[in-house]
Amino acid sequence: MINANDVILQAVTNIFLTMEQVWNNVSLWGVLTVLITSFRVIRQFLKFDSGIKIAQFWRILRYQAVYFIRYEYKIWVVPVLCLTVLAWVGGSVNASVLSVFFWANVVWWIVNVGISHLFKTNHALLKQIKNTPFSILSLGGSLFLNAYLLDNHFFAILGTKTLLAILASSFLGISFVIGSFRLWQYNDSLHPKNIESSFISNERLDALMITLICSILLAQVYGNHINFSLLPLVLSASFLMLFGIGKAMITGQLWNKYHKYAEGGMLLVSIGLTFGILYYYLPASWLKGGMSYQRNDLLYTILVGLLVSFFSDKLIAFYRYLQNTYTYYFLDQPIFHKILTYIVRGAITISIISVISWGFLYAYQHLELYGLTLVLISILTNINSKISFDIPARWQ
């Protein structure tokens, strides 16, 4: 029979263990962050020499605090909830999780301040650096590194608490990273810019982040080793790097006339990269939950996602060709033009949906939800692919 006092005592012990781990880290990185932030505020304050400017400074600082609390409170509610969950599951968070709060400030300063001062006379070079795949990879790597800041022995524990701990640790790291970026931006102005990158759209980035989190969690269900959780991260980082460099080469003047060859080369390299990553990270077969899974099935699943991401573009390009071609012949008869255009749009749209649905169905049949998330990752990381079909008709 379970004693209620023992349960309460265990819960309190878990809370103290978690708080002790957190405080051990806050005592170092938290103090450094506060000192650096205070230094920036004091340096800005010393620039004002008159009473009017000092009063204006305090008024702006007060507005910054009010705006930050008003618009960013949701980001800081997440760490509280995550720490509560981690305390409940038993002090499983690693103390180094909060170091991201400090290092995110360092990364932000290097990218937005250090590089700007270093290349302030060369705006073209600065723009080129900020548009490279490294900019978004640095953010993505910081976000999802926290999914693995759990104690190693905790991965051996099965059940709901494992998933809760992984999810809470992931979002704890994410909230501290994003919160630190937003805090530094409020230090500079009352209206901070949204976190965005010209390398990848916000919509695609949001979808990719959610898919990665789901894939990390599902890896604990379908895999029996931490490499299954690392696989979506390695694939996404590799594909983002490959397709980002490929896009820069294709849009450049040197490779413009070799557009088709460059695309074909990217497809072949991505296939070879997938082979290498899977054969390095995963065994030929494994058992989990009484089910047998094969590495080749996972390989074919990811290749299906790559093919879908490449050929969806070709279908949209084919639609554009048909629309432009037939519009030329039916300009004087708009009613036929509309009918024909809707037929073409419907046929191509159905074709795209059919191809993507077939890829999803194939992935689900072989590795269920885990395979489905890997297909989505391979599609979303191909930044040259179109994930929306919204092309206006010619008469619009």
Cβ atoms of 168 and 149 closer than 8 Å: no
The residue ranges of every structural domain in the chain are: 1-199, 218-396
Distance separating alpha carbons of residues 153 and 226, to the nearest angstrom:
11
Q: How many CA atoms lie within 13 A of 326 on its CB side?
A: 19
How sure is the predictor about 294, in pLDDT bands with cuts at 50, 70 and 90? Answer: confident
Least confident range from 128-132, 219-223, 266-270, 352-356: namely 128-132
Q: Using CA atoms, how far apart are residues 121 and 129, in angstroms rounded to an integer?
A: 14
Q: Which two tokens stand for residue 236?
A: 């996404």
Mean residue pLDDT across the chain: 64
- At 32, the pLDDT band (50, 70, 90 cuts) reads low
306-352 tens-digit pLDDT: 887 777 767 667 767 766 666 666 555 556 666 666 776 677 667 76
Residue 19 pLDDT grade (very low, low, confident, very high; cuts 50, 70, 90): low
Q: Which of 65-79, 107-121, 143-157, 163-177 has the lowest mean pLDDT?
A: 143-157
- Please say if the pLDDT value at position 266 is more than 70: yes
Report in angstroms the alpha-carbon separations of 206 from 151, 197, 212, 213, 357: 28, 12, 10, 11, 21
Give the global pTM.
Answer: 0.53
Contact 168, 85 (CB under 8 A): yes
Task: Specify the DSSP class assigned to residue 153.
Answer: G
Three-state secondary structure call for residue 197 = strand
DSSP states of 16-34 as a string?
A: HHHHHHHHHHIIIIIHHHH
Are the beta carbons of 295 and 278 closer than 8 angstroms? yes
